[in-house]
Structure 1
Amino acid sequence: MPNFNANVSKLARQPEDCSRVLVAALESGDIETSVALYETSAVLFKKSGEVMTGLDAIRENNAGVIALKPKFTIAFITATLSGDGTLATNRMKAELAFTKPDGQLVKTNVDTLEVLRKQEDGSWRYIIDDPYGSMRAGMKDR
């Protein structure tokens, strides 16, 4: 299986890099990079479907994820660009493993649906990030 995190820079130069950089930041505990990948008014969905808006909410969420010391195994990342090249969607399928505070090992799937916008400097940032978006229809309310 390819190593999707090898030589990851902190800037997303291609839409699919957002997923790679985010995963690397969450695994390494780099909260600043994990938040810098989002536009100021971006939205991030919780597993429950609740929407968090803005960088403060995203920072709080990502700090909670980092505290779990997550490990991702990425199966694939697929990006689709808009005709003018300014917007993109990403899908990432990955397994997420982490240890709960009580010591229980948890393994779950992440099947993202992401919307990104190209920035003036040529990098990409999230405007909508739903880590469970591609599988949400099959999920029960939690």
Structure 2
Amino acid sequence: MPDTRYKKVTDPTQMSMAFAEIFNNGRDLDAWISLYEPDAILYFGGPDPVVGHEAIRKALTPLVEMPGKIETRINFCAVNGDIAVVRGDCIGRHEGEITFAASSVEVVRRQADGSWLYMIDHAAGASLPSAWETPSA
């Protein structure tokens, strides 16, 4: 069930922007966690996913100290009923310089109250090289 203490995302195209708003306005870990389903999967900072609120909290903790601001734009959003796939493009800036750029792949689900939460968030999933460019193991 979504956390009612925080702003609800009522449009799946707003997920990345909600994440950026939290980053740019205080970096509240609880607010970030409120964007995820309890058993959500997050790929962030490594090849293996983390699962669930506590693991996601731990994975996102380094963002609290990261300097600068981020800006996001939605590349596309495909909705089928209560599930949406979103590609969000993100740029981080600090003191006028770009510090990172990434493109995410996000799977979000409409909740009973009409809000949307992350089921799967791959922070750099759309930034990965093509499988044709990656040597096979």
Same-fold call, TM cutoff 0.5:
yes
Instruction: Give 1:58-137 correspondences, 5 Å limit.
Output: 58-82=56-80, 85-97=81-93, 107-137=99-129
How far 1:32 moved relative to its partner? 1.3
Q: Provide the residue aligned with 1:5 in structure 2.
A: none
How many residues are aligned here? 125
Alignment of 1:41-56 (within 5 A): 41-56=39-54
Q: Normalised by the size of structure 1, how large is the TM-score?
A: 0.78
Does the Cα contact within 8 Å between 2:89 and 2:103 map onto a contact in 1? yes
What is the TM-score normalised by the length of structure 2?
A: 0.80
| TM-aligned CA distance change 1:114 to 1:40, over 3 Å | same
CA 1:31–1:24 in structure 2 vs 1: closer, same or farther (change >3 Å)? same
Give, in angstroms, the shift of residue 54 of structure 1: 0.6
Determine if contact 1:68/1:98 at 8 Å carries over to the other structure.
Answer: no
Q: Which runs of 4+ in 1 moved over 6 A?
A: none
Please identify, of 87-96 and 130-139, the stretch whose mean Cα deviation from structure 2 is larger: 130-139
How much does 1:15 deviate?
0.5
RMSD between superposed Cα atoms in Å: 2.2
Equivalent position of 1:21 in the other structure: 18
Are residues 69 and 10 of structure 1, via their aligned partners in 2, closer, same or farther at CA, if it must alter by over 3 Å?
farther
Q: Report the alpha carbon displacement of residue 96 of structure 1 after superposing the two structures with TM.
A: 1.6
Distance in 2 (CA, whole Å) between partners of 1:11 and 1:38 is 11
Contact 1:77 1:91 in 2 (8 A): yes
Q: CA deviation at 1:70?
A: 4.2
Contact 1:16–1:77, Cα closer than 8 Å, also in 2: no
C-alpha distance in structure 2 between counterparts of 1:22 and 1:75, whole Å: 12
